[in-house]
Amino acid sequence: MAGVDTLFQPGHRGAVDTEAVAAAIDCVEAFTACFNAHDFAGMDAQLHFPHIILSGETMLIWPEGGQMPLSFFDDLHRQTGWAKTHYLRHDAVLASPRKVHLILDYTRNRANGSVISRHLNLWIVTFDGGRWGIKQRSY
C-alpha cells in the first residue's frame, strides 16, 4: 500500500485528460444500457469492487457483484412507472489518466417518455485491472 502522504497527491497535473473522460463516459453509458435492459450481470461488469454507494449519509459497500435484489426492476416499475433512464449530460469535474469524477444529470422516464424524476449525482469511474469501471456513486 502506498504511504499515507501519497494518498493526497494527485497523480496528474495540468489539462483534463479527454481520453480518460471519454472512456469514463463510455463506461457509464454501457452501465445504463444494461440498467435499461434489466441486465444485472452487464451492470456488474461495468463496476469495480468493492463498490461504494453513498446515498444521503448512508454508505453501502458491495464487496462483489450480485448485490442488486432480483425484484429491483419490477419494484421500481411498480412503485414509480419507470421504464427507462436517460442522460441529459455528463460533466467531468475532475479527471486524470486513471480516475474521472462525473456529474450525471439524468431522468427516470415512463414508457411514454414522460419524466418521473430528475437526478444530479456524482459518480467516480476508475481505470483498474486493465479496464474502466464505476467505483463509487453518490446519490
Does 41 map to a domain?
Answer: yes
Q: Which domain holds residue 74?
A: 14-138
Length of the chain as a residue count: 139
Does 9 map to a domain?
Answer: no
- pTM listed for this prediction: 0.89
Alpha-carbon span 74 to 122, nearest angstrom: 25
For the cut 80, the answer to whether the pLDDT of residue 99 exceeds it is yes
**Cell matching residue 75:** 419494484
Domain count, the chain: 1
**Cell matching residue 120:** 444530479
Does 103 map to a domain?
Answer: yes
Does 3 map to a domain?
Answer: no
**Cell matching residue 15:** 489539462
Instruction: Give per-residue pLDDT as tens, 30-84.
Output: 999 999 999 999 999 999 999 999 999 999 999 999 999 999 999 999 999 999 9
- The CATH number of the domain holding residue 131 is 3.10.450.50
Does 125 map to a domain?
Answer: yes
3-state secondary structure of 130: coil
Alpha-carbon span 6 to 86, nearest angstrom: 38
